[in-house]
Amino acid sequence: MKQIQKLNCACLVALALIGVVATASAQDPLPSWNDGSAKQAIVHFVQTTTESGSADFVPPEGRIATFDQDGTLWVEKPMYAQVMFCLDRVPAVVAAKPELKNVEPFKTVLSGDREAIAKLLMKDLEKVLVATLTGMTTDQFQSEVKKWLATARDPRWHRSYTDLTYQPMQEVLKYLRANGYRTYIVTGGGQDFVRVYAEQTYGIAPEQVVGTIGGTSYGYDKYGKPILTKEPKLLLNDDNAGKPQGIHLMIGRRPYAAFGNSTGDRQMLEYTKAGGGARLAMLVLHDDATREYAYGPAQGLPDSKVGTFTQELYQEAQQKGWIVIHMKSDWKRIFSFEP
């Protein structure tokens, strides 16, 4: 009898524990976040905009959340993945057009001299971008990007670039979608580039990727099949003021939540917060040199050409209720591959 009682007790304790675990996981959609004001702000925003009867309830059709990509959803250091793709493609471009071999900036890129490449000016880089991102069909471009992603590895973790997404942000994407939000990427990167992997990497469909947009031309291949060719014509530079413009162009509604990490995201956050009701604006601050990178120059962090987060932006965030996510203290883990 005592034995049975003991067993029953053990069972009850076990059941209770299972209950606790189940409840805890149901209650915590953001397990990679440390408890703190950033995590609380996200949970509060979702609850207040989706619980029926809430004063700030947002009907499902209006639930739009926008995310910058580089530095917000995945690593952008030492250089944007798309720029790495463009540099890696230079040999193939020069093989097809040998006259470029001794022309700058192609000559420097071909030299493989990392220091010299890092010193290339924006106008040099633009020549590389035009040569490697245009002049082919949209189908050819897509297959080039796929091929590159399959083999390219980043210089620090030696992993596929698509492994370097932030686990806490992946949780935010899923949490928002589970609550009826449509999640969009709004990136300064090329729309066609990001669309190749966004669905598999973030669960974000091509039509929900807003990026820098180049023109295409419609024509026919030698078999008479219609093709779209990527042209060196910029329709939208989806950075800074281009982000609200891109949101209007591609979505046609103001987001309720927006996430960024640099001065290029300022206007997107401003535009988002200018709507009525509860709106969430967040900025990731990279202050963790050990687990990822540390750069600002806000808060005395080292300056950066890539993903600049100025002290002015930090102050504006404080003034306007944009919430700064401190990577070091807010994120329990950064990558899904961490033990």
- Residue 211 Cβ vs a copy of itself, minimum distance, rounded to whole Å: 10
Instruction: Identify the residue among 155, 215, 232, 277 touching a copy of itself (CB under 8 A).
Output: 215
Q: Is 195 in the site for a copy of itself (CB under 8 A)?
A: yes
- Residue 89 Cβ vs a copy of itself, minimum distance, rounded to whole Å: 21
Task: Write the interaction track for a copy of itself spanning residues 149-188; mark x where CB under 8 A is met and - where it is not.
Answer: ---------------------------------x------
Contacts of 226 (CB under 8 A, 6+ apart): 218, 219, 220
- Residue 227 Cβ vs a copy of itself, minimum distance, rounded to whole Å: 9
Interface with a copy of itself: number of residues (CB under 8 A) = 34
Q: Is 213 in the site for a copy of itself (CB under 8 A)?
A: yes
Instruction: Identify the residue among 21, 274, 315, 338 touching a copy of itself (CB under 8 A).
Output: 274
Distances (CA, A) of 105 to 72, 100, 149, 214: 30, 9, 24, 22
Stretch that binds a copy of itself, among 77-85, 117-125, 250-258, 331-339 (CB under 8 A): 250-258
- Residue 92 Cβ vs a copy of itself, minimum distance, rounded to whole Å: 23
Instruction: Identify the residue among 28, 124, 163, 270 touching a copy of itself (CB under 8 A).
Output: 270
Instruction: Identify the residue among 124, 199, 288, 316 touching a copy of itself (CB under 8 A).
Output: 199
Task: Write the interaction track for a copy of itself spanning residues 287-306; mark x where CB under 8 A is met and - where it is not.
Answer: --------------------
Q: Is 145 in the site for a copy of itself (CB under 8 A)?
A: no
List strands edge to edge, sheet with 280-285. 226-236, 209-220, 182-190, 64-67, 257-260, 280-285, 323-326
Question: In this complex, which beta carbon is closest to a copy of itself, that of residue 226 or of residue 339?
Answer: 226
Instruction: Identify the residue among 43, 152, 228, 306 touching a copy of itself (CB under 8 A).
Output: 228
Instruction: Identify the residue among 110, 136, 152, 249 touching a copy of itself (CB under 8 A).
Output: 249
Question: In this complex, which beta carbon is closest to a copy of itself, that of residue 116 or of residue 234?
Answer: 234
Residue (of 90, 88, 67) closest to 79 by Cα position: 88
By CB under 8 A, the residues from 36 to 65 that bind a copy of itself are 61
